[in-house]
Structure 1
Amino acid sequence: MFDIGFWELLVIGVIALVVLGPERLPGAIRSTMETVRSIKNVANGFKQEVSYQLKTHELHEHLKKAEKEGLGQVGDDVKQSIEELKSAAASVQRPYENSILPSENSSESENKK
């Protein structure tokens, strides 16, 4: 990213030591590293979100293509995208089915009493 060599880092370190002093230098380095770490985390989160959105957009495009051409005439990549969408939809519905069933069973058992 940046082209900083050993001598440049040494000069920056000496200047920081003179300006901040030996008491405040470790705290300044620590806070700088925390800031750099948080910036990297934000950048990685952004990259993951963009990647997820692009994949979602691609799946939707394949689904639209499949609807236009008919499900029997689509290619293998489009069929795979459709299967991914179906499995994602099924996985989203599963947690709700499990949470609804016990409450319905408890209300039915209360009605029987």
Structure 2
Amino acid sequence: MFDIGFWELLLIAIIGLIVLGPERLPVAIRTVRGWIGNVRRFSDSVKNELNEELRIQELHANLKKAEQVNMENLSPEVAESVKSLKEAAEQVTKPYMKTTETTTANTIENKENN
């Protein structure tokens, strides 16, 4: 990323020691390390989001291809995309189904108890 060698780092450390002194230098290093960690986490999250968006775009394109051929004679990659979309749809609806079933069961229990 940055083309900084050993001698450049040594020069930065010496200047930091002279400017900040031995008491404040460790605190400054921890602060900078925290900033760098935050930047890395942010860049990783952005990268992951972009990868997910690209994957979603690919799934949508494959789904459109499948719709054009009326879901018959699908290529293996398009069939796999359709299968993963179906699984994702099932995972999305399952928590709501469980909540609805639990609510219905609780309502029936309350009516029986009263």
TM-score interval w.r.t. the shorter chain? over 0.9
TM-score, normalised with respect to structure 2: 0.94
Normalising by structure 1, what TM-score?
Answer: 0.94
The equivalent of 2:73 in structure 1 is: 73
Q: How does 1:1-113 map to 2 (within 5 A)?
A: 1-112=1-112, 113=114
Q: Which amino acid aligns with 2:40?
A: K
Deviation at 1:108, TM superposition (A): 2.4
Over aligned residues, Cα RMSD in angstroms?
Answer: 1.1
Identity %: 39
Structure 1 residue 111: deviation in Å?
A: 3.4
> Aligned to 1:72, what secondary structure does the other structure show?
coil
**Alpha-carbon distance in structure 1 between the residues aligned to 2:88 and 2:61:** 16
Unaligned residue ranges in structure 1 (runs of 5+): none
* Equivalent residue pairs, number: 113
Distance 1:76 1:59 in 2: 13
Give the Cα–Cα distance (whole angstroms) in 2 for the partners of residues 25 and 106 of structure 1.
61
Structure 2 residue runs of 5 or longer lacking an equivalent are none
- After superposing on structure 2, the runs of 4+ consecutive aligned residues of structure 1 that deviate more than 6 Å are none
